[in-house]
Structure 1
Amino acid sequence: MVGVLEGWHAMSETTYDDLLARVRELVATTEGRVPVVGITGHGGAGKSTLAERLAADLGLEEDQVVATDAFYATTCGPDAGMWEQCDWPLLEAVVRGARTGSERLRYDYRWWGGETGTEDHPMPPVLVVEGIRLLNDRTDAWFDLAVWIEMDPDAAGARAKSRNLLQGDDRAELDLWDTKWIPEGHAYEQQERPRERADLVLRAEG
């Protein structure tokens, strides 16, 4: 994984500083509710790195960033369809809570391995949501600012495999990148055209 900003550069003159300025403007001008920022890209493209950097610069706690990795559906697994991995209604409820003035960022989480629990934190001044496949027909009205990280699924997947190998993933988990995650990344990009749905596009170097 690249460092905080190492590897990021402008695409169509969009930079991290542009993103930070846009989010700060949202916080200053959105009244009566919390603005929601979505950061998405293929697995391994650097979504978490970017979201964590943005959160730190905005004064948010790490636990106040919402990751789709905490919303695996009960149907998730190697044989699940592309849209069956995430509990979309639960994630939508979190976004709706921010938009309707909830004072707490509270949700039940479920990790890939089935571990469950509850997160409960003060609602931040801006809700940052990061994860794969965030831009689609269902989520069109979710985000005040949608950010796409431009990186080819194969390059992103190769980087993710290297990262996960260092994290100790077994061979079966690593092989899923070649048999599932990377092919689904190509399919998602072709079907949903996330780059065209995004308000800002940043390119990550592989």
Structure 2
Amino acid sequence: MVRWQPGTSGRLQAAALELFASNGFEQTTAAEIAQSVGLTERTFFRHFSDKREVLFHGQELLVEAFLAGLVEAPGEATPMELVAAALESGAELFPDERRDHSRLRQTVIEQNPALQERERHKMSVLAAALGDALRGRGITEPAATLAAESAATVFGVAFTQWIAPGEQRSISQIEQAVLAELRDLTAARTAART
């Protein structure tokens, strides 16, 4: 068996996703994933702590991309402008050629409650990191937490729309539309009070 080749993690991820989609997450073993690309189970565990992490590997890249948007935003940006900057930066990780992969990944996640919980945890980690960064920029509470949670929610809603069958818009375009809807919703609430 081949012990190491460049791109081993990526090959394992691609193989795992295909096996999860065809055989089911619970029915697929780490050994089967490794064997499908000519590797050993031991090699699999050098790259991933368990088979769940094959689907969530790279979560830190998502957080870093969102945080980069905050760092690059002007100092005088409002909390919602910072949310928009974070979303725009994060969108770079989702070019249109990743849409089919993302659809398949989401299908696997939706079929398994434990994976759904792990996905919620991923979004919680993102919101917490954004909240910390916003507070670091001097945004006070509760605005920092509300803005961070809004960013995660807008991303989640936009992602769901982006992977919907027949959707053609970029994730960035969808995020902008969802963020505008959120702004309209909060503006309508404020106008109703006055």
TM-score over 0.5 (shorter chain): no
Comparing both chains, which one has the higher relative contact order based on Cα–Cα distances under 8 Å and sequence gaps of 6 or more? Answer: 1
The structure that is strand-richer by fraction is 1
**Where is the helix percentage greater, Structure 1 or Structure 2?**
2
Scaled by the length of structure 2, what TM-score is found? 0.29
- TM-score of the two chains, using structure 1 as the length reference: 0.28
Q: Answer with 1 or 2: which has the greater Rg.
A: 2
